Amino acid sequence: MVTVMAEIRKAAIIGCGNIAQVHAACIAGQPGISLAGVADTCLERAVSLGEKYGAEAYYTMEELLDRVKPEIVHICTPHYLHVPMAAEALRQGRQVFMEKPPVINQEQYTILKDAVKSSKGKLGLCFQNRYNPGTLAAMRLFALGIPGRVKGGRAIVSWCREREYYTESDWRGNRKTEGGGALINQAVHSLDLLTLFLGKPVSAEAVMANHHLKNVIEVEDMMEAYIQYEEGITGCFYATTAYCTNMPPIIELHCDNMNVRVEEMKAVCTDFSGEEIKLSEMQEFKFSDETSASPEENKKKQASLGKSYWGAGHMDCITDYYSSLLSEKAVPIGLKETKDTIELMLAIYESARIGEEVIV
């Protein structure tokens, strides 16, 4: 009898810093996939990650792609390198899973769109907060029509990034390599969730500042934006990295029937006097499979993967991307699904730069 072994598919990680550790653990959790290669221009980091997972370590992406020939490439490098690296891997027909932000400027956006269009590889983007139990619960509420029409929303991110966060890194805090600060790096997930619920952005008027790290960083530690979405819906966005600690982001939607707060682990509904409306008491609302676990169970499941204040949904996000590769289905979160967020983010930066409203 001949036993046919299922083929093991090869994945690789480019950039072996902080977030690569989370990606490696997520790849290890994918059946039939092996982490075959890792690359970092700080070779020690590549060697250390490679040893942990039995992957070959390389200095550059080019060398790795050439020797290992991985099917799937995870891009976990500094912001300015995402697009050139993804475009090259896509040109070679590889599947690419890329960390946020997808682009740092308009020019990169055009390059990335062209690269996706002309490749047989699929680009998946890491917006893991879309998999938070709270996001899924809120989406389910809206799908059932329980909150009614959304009239407006606000997102507030108050985090702490001190001088050392920038001085110990060779790319953060620099406009050319990070592309921006509080918005593009820390609060882009919250802008993404706000936009997911409020709809299509039409225009943005924004202000940015560097309050607490003058002469240390070139990028903003505060971004404020007034956003008009279609159907007269207004979004108010505020992000700072000058706070004294990292607090969970506030994402709150004002609707016809109630206010809905999208927390990481749950959606909280309140009436207009501030009284909580318990989801368990809503006849219509049944948790879907993804959200049926209690907040405690979810927290336990995701505890080892990522910091909770920036959302611990990497495993779900990466698993969903891998299942789209296996099933030949469209990627769950690609350029098409994040178009509004990317274009809004670029419009907010442009508005803050020129001091005028910008059409998205």
Binding site for ligand NAD (CB under 6 A): 14-20, 39-42, 45, 60-61, 76-79, 81, 99-100, 126, 128, 169, 185, 310
How far is residue 68's CA from residue 32's CA, in Å, rounded to a whole number? 17
> Smallest gap, in angstroms, from Cβ of residue 315 to ligand NAD?
12
> Smallest gap, in angstroms, from Cβ of residue 79 to ligand NAD?
5
> Smallest gap, in angstroms, from Cβ of residue 176 to ligand NAD?
13
Nearer to ligand NAD, 42 or 247 (CB): 42
Nearer to ligand NAD, 100 or 266 (CB): 100
Give the torsion sign (CA, 305, 291, 331, 72): positive
> Smallest gap, in angstroms, from Cβ of residue 330 to ligand NAD?
21
Which residue of this chain has its Cβ atom nearest to ligand NAD in the complex? 17
Nearer to ligand NAD, 310 or 321 (CB): 310
How far is residue 304's CA from residue 162's CA, in Å, rounded to a whole number? 24
How far is residue 120's CA from residue 97's CA, in Å, rounded to a whole number? 14
Nearer to ligand NAD, 45 or 161 (CB): 45
Pairing status of strand 150-158 against strand 276-277: unpaired
**234 DSSP β-pair partners:** 152, 228
Question: For 301, phi and psi rounded to 5 degrees?
Answer: -60, -40
> Smallest gap, in angstroms, from Cβ of residue 254 to ligand NAD?
27
Which residues, in sequence order, are CB contacts of 66 under 8 Å at separation 6+?
none
> Smallest gap, in angstroms, from Cβ of residue 169 to ligand NAD?
5
How far is residue 302's CA from residue 317's CA, in Å, rounded to a whole number? 12
Report which of 99, 70, 60 is spatially closest to residue 83, judged by C-alpha positions: 99
Cis bond upstream, residue 31 (ω within 30): no
**Cβ atoms of 22 and 306 closer than 8 Å:** yes
Q: Is 207 exposed, middle or buried (0-12, 13-18, 19+ CB in 10 A)?
A: middle
Cα angle: 238, vertex 239, 240; to 5 degrees: 130
**Cβ atoms of 240 and 221 closer than 8 Å:** yes
Nearer to ligand NAD, 123 or 150 (CB): 123
Nearer to ligand NAD, 121 or 180 (CB): 180
Nearer to ligand NAD, 42 or 330 (CB): 42
> Smallest gap, in angstroms, from Cβ of residue 21 to ligand NAD?
8
> Smallest gap, in angstroms, from Cβ of residue 158 to ligand NAD?
16
Nearer to ligand NAD, 97 or 229 (CB): 97
Cβ neighbour number for residue 358 with a 10 Å cutoff: 18
Question: For 5, phi and psi rounded to 5 degrees?
Answer: -80, 135
